[in-house]
Amino acid sequence: MEYNFSDRVKDLGGNAIREIFKLLADPSVISFAGGFPTKTTLPTQLIATTTSELMSSSEAENILQYGSTEGYTPLRLTAIDYVRRYGINDINIDNTLIISGGQQGIDLTFKTFVNKGDVVLVEDPTYLAVLHILKTYEATAIGVDSGNDGLDLADLESKMIMHKPKVLYVVPTFSNPTGRTYSIAKRKAIYELAVKYNVIILEDDPYSELRFSGERVPSIKSFDKTGNVIYITSFSKTLAPGLRTGIAIGDPEVIRKMTIGKQATDVHTSSLSQAIINNFLSKSLMDARVSELIPLYLEKKNAMMSAIEKYMPKEFTYTNPDGGLFIFGEFDESLGINTMKLFPEVAAHKVAYVSGHSFFASEDKFNTLRLNYSNASLDQIDSGMKKLGDFFKKIIANK
Amino acid sequence: MEYNFSDRVKDLGGNAIREIFKLLADPSVISFAGGFPTKTTLPTQLIATTTSELMSSSEAENILQYGSTEGYTPLRLTAIDYVRRYGINDINIDNTLIISGGQQGIDLTFKTFVNKGDVVLVEDPTYLAVLHILKTYEATAIGVDSGNDGLDLADLESKMIMHKPKVLYVVPTFSNPTGRTYSIAKRKAIYELAVKYNVIILEDDPYSELRFSGERVPSIKSFDKTGNVIYITSFSKTLAPGLRTGIAIGDPEVIRKMTIGKQATDVHTSSLSQAIINNFLSKSLMDARVSELIPLYLEKKNAMMSAIEKYMPKEFTYTNPDGGLFIFGEFDESLGINTMKLFPEVAAHKVAYVSGHSFFASEDKFNTLRLNYSNASLDQIDSGMKKLGDFFKKIIANK
């Protein structure tokens, strides 16, 4: 039959990164493209022993039975304690919702607040899946300028006035794609503006455990006295993305509506995943886990910083993150380098990045690219960056 | 702050059944309300040993890493073979999508086809979550009359002509809530009408493995030569609902759009759940599993049929399913019994059903109720039905 797809999907392709993944099925390709945790760190034995323990416990049948949409009660209770590490206090179980990965928290927030045609503000550049999700709501994403310290407050305020956005989406700690972190002062100022203009802040915080330098910064949610902020975190970067489990924290009235939205999609998150994570958090294993991950990620990040320095052309400038998974770089605009157009040629050399334009809402900056350092080995980081450096030096020489 | 919720959720409460679950937290209540598998059948040891096996295999890290939105490749391949048992042949991997439970398959179908204001036809009565999901798309559900053999074809055709629906939703085998099964002739006729009027059929098939009498009937999808049918099944009723995993089968063009919709919500289904189910299906364990479940469910169903016969007033008529989880009953309309209004009084007697009006799209039939026999023990079925029978006999005597 001739399909008559809904308006929300009829012109929609897959998001750029998920599509690149398919090209990367070739194992000989060195990928700096994804945002995958380092494969060798994935806790296979922990998952096996935890599952055995859970399936021998008195909770076993509850874990395999239907659960409540809000989440597995023991995990919701554990979450109240867990988010104290992000400065979030004075909440109770009604402030918590267990989600099927951080991405579902984003989707449910928009489902709860965004009508067709509404505006959502995002940092420019931002997590590209957010731009994709907003298309499924037929909403408009508008980019806010940003610098080393996060959003430009003047631009943010003027866009709040001009566009009356429903939601502001931010990744204030080790942002995807830039790796940058907002200062405390910037966080407070953003919160104040959201209150002033009646905007929901969606604070996405998947990376903050992966800090290898600098001091921890409290979440924007930690300043929230008015219920403007929805905070989401996940266990994809710290434990295992395959479990698809995260936590959303918000005002009970908001959590209630998000729960109704979730009920209409997956009923609840896999209870086995939820119980595994609850077991892990209840035993206070996060700090030990993170202290294993950090030296490894730092070593990889340092390897990539050195390799960029060593191999990339001098016209390439780049961020220097204190944590997370990404470095964002750009070529001097005057060179006219287009990382999207060049991608197929680069990929033919068996190395991959994500073209940076995909992360921008308001302008396509084709001279940018995102590099991930958690997926490749140290050797691959060196040899892959050499390939990239040689490639771009040649392009520049031929200009 | 004063929240400005989206139009799709602002007037939306939770669905009736999920709300009843909360009332049923009291373990002394005998519940005929849910659609839960029998708790003691949940395969706790199987899940433990399978997880250990998977986490010691060469696939372990792939299972914990990010996966593709379409699903875990080994499960997608296994699914091709698995759905042959429903008469679905001649498909390949591009016809398959792994979903986070059957409910997500419903949600993604509507996301893919339904705009605000569009009409979806459903059997009257139908699975009530579908009515809830349609509200999140601001779509209109219109009920089609049905009898012992399923949809009334004349009513279906006239409503296809009148309302130009995008989708027809059906549970043709052991329907929720009636337990009824459509004949082969009826299935073919429904398919022909869908082709004639360019309507997508969403065939939801969670129950067909739980057959205790009569012959298996091929799925509507098995007759599909035109790509009109999306077929979904899940492992919630056969293995464990807590794993939240199902399979959708459709035309590759449709599956592609559903995948894009899924990408924007949970990225992919828990890979651990997917791998557990793949392990189970690859070892061809389904038949053995089902042959353990069926005698138990049949015994419970027979116990409930006897108890209805024994205790309920003669003005109560009810279905006699060949499988599945539900019996649907109604009181003679002349009695003016309203099962919704009476529910709090009934619940005070520590017994629960779901008022049948929740399952109707086009008319609220308050004289009906749905009874589930899989959750309660044989003793509870007898004593709970006695309480219900005594209650309703008294109501009738006092009329």
Q: What mean pLDDT is predicted for residues A145-151?
A: 93
Using an 8 Å Cβ cutoff, are B105 and B79 in contact?
no
Of A6, A21, A195, the CB nearest to B113: A6
Range(s) for CATH 3.40.640.10 in chain B?
65-284
- Beta-ladder partners of A211: A323
Task: Calculate how close chain B gets to A232, using CA atoms only, in Å.
Answer: 14
Q: What is the pLDDT of residue B26?
A: 79
Does residue A284 belong to the interface with chain B, where contact is any CB pair within 8 Å? Answer: no
A147 by DSSP, 3-state: which? strand
Q: What DSSP string runs through B283-332?
A: TT-HHHHHHHHHHHHHHHHHHHHHHHHHHS-TTEEE---SBSSEEEEEE-
* Alpha helix segments (H runs only) across A83-144: 102-113, 128-136
Cβ–Cβ gap B253/A37 under 8 Å: no
Contacts of A22 (CB under 8 A, 6+ apart): B68
Q: What mean pLDDT is predicted for residues B1-15?
A: 90
Confidence of residue A16 (pLDDT cuts 50, 70, 90): low
Measured between alpha carbons, how far is A389 from B90 in angstroms, rounded to an integer?
48
Range(s) for CATH 3.40.640.10 in chain A?
62-284
Nearest to A52 by CA among A240, A269, A279: A279
Nearest to B112 by CA among A130, A7, A114: A7
Global pTM value: 0.96
Residue A339 has pLDDT above 80, yes or no: yes
| Helix or strand (DSSP H, E) at A294 | helix A286-311
Cβ–Cβ gap A51/B51 under 8 Å: yes
Measured between alpha carbons, how far is B276 from B274 in angstroms, rounded to an integer?
5
Using an 8 Å Cβ cutoff, are A173 and A205 in contact?
yes
Interface confidence, given as ipTM, is 0.96
Nearest to B37 by CA among B173, B234, B213: B234
Measured between alpha carbons, how far is B142 from B139 in angstroms, rounded to an integer?
10
Q: What is the pLDDT of residue B379?
A: 97
User: Which of A65, A107, A135 to mutate to probe the B interface, most B CBs <10 Å?
Assistant: A65
Question: Taking a contact as any Cβ pair under 8 Å apart, which residues of chain A between 97 and 156 contact chain B?
Answer: 100-101, 103-104, 107, 111-116, 129, 132-133, 135-136
Confidence of residue A22 (pLDDT cuts 50, 70, 90): low
pLDDT tens digits, residue range B94-116? 999 999 999 999 999 999 999 99
Question: Taking a contact as any Cβ pair under 8 Å apart, which residues of chain A between 13 and 42 contact chain B?
Answer: 13-15, 18, 21-22, 34, 36-37, 39-40, 42
Using an 8 Å Cβ cutoff, are B142 and B159 in contact?
yes
Does residue B228 belong to the interface with chain A, where contact is any CB pair within 8 Å? Answer: yes
Measured between alpha carbons, how far is A153 from A144 in angstroms, rounded to an integer?
9
Beta strands of chain A (E only): which ranges?
Answer: 30-31, 96-99, 119-123, 140-144, 146-147, 150-151, 167-170, 200-204, 229-234, 246-249, 316-318, 326-331, 351-352, 354-355, 368-372
Report residue B97: phi and psi, to 5°.
Answer: -140, 130
Residue with tokens 């209805």: B308
Report residue B95: phi and psi, to 5°.
Answer: -90, 0
Q: Over A164-223, what HEC string results?
A: CCCEEEECCCCCCCCCCCCCHHHHHHHHHHHHHCCCEEEEECCCCCCECCCCCCCCHHHH
Range(s) for CATH 3.90.1150.10 in chain A?
7-43+288-397
Q: What mean pLDDT is predicted for residues A365-389?
A: 97
pLDDT tens digits, residue range B192-207? 999 999 999 999 999 9
Question: Taking a contact as any Cβ pair under 8 Å apart, which residues of chain A between 197 and 216 contact chain B?
Answer: 198
Q: Which amino acid makes up residue B19?
A: E
Contacts of A283 (CB under 8 A, 6+ apart): none
Residue A21 has pLDDT above 90, yes or no: no
Task: Calculate how close chain A gets to B164, using CA atoms only, in Å.
Answer: 12
Give the lowest-confidence range in A130-134, B21-25, B266-270. Answer: B21-25
Query: What architecture is domain B65-284?
Result: 3-Layer(aba) Sandwich (3.40)
Average pLDDT score, chain A: 95
CATH entry 3.40.50.300 includes domain A7-43+288-397: no
Task: Calculate how close chain B gets to A390, using CA atoms only, in Å.
Answer: 31
pLDDT tens digits, residue range B53-94? 999 999 999 999 999 999 999 999 999 999 999 999 999 999
Q: Which amino acid makes up residue B108?
A: L
Of B12, B15, B112, the CB nearest to A9: B112
Cβ–Cβ gap A4/B198 under 8 Å: yes
Measured between alpha carbons, how far is A101 from A99 in angstroms, rounded to an integer?
6
Measured between alpha carbons, how far is A339 from B254 in angstroms, rounded to an integer?
32
CATH of A62-284, one of 2.30.40.10, 3.40.50.1100, 2.140.10.10, 3.40.640.10: 3.40.640.10
Cβ–Cβ gap B273/A268 under 8 Å: no
pLDDT tens digits, residue range B341-380? 999 899 999 999 999 999 999 888 999 999 999 999 999 9
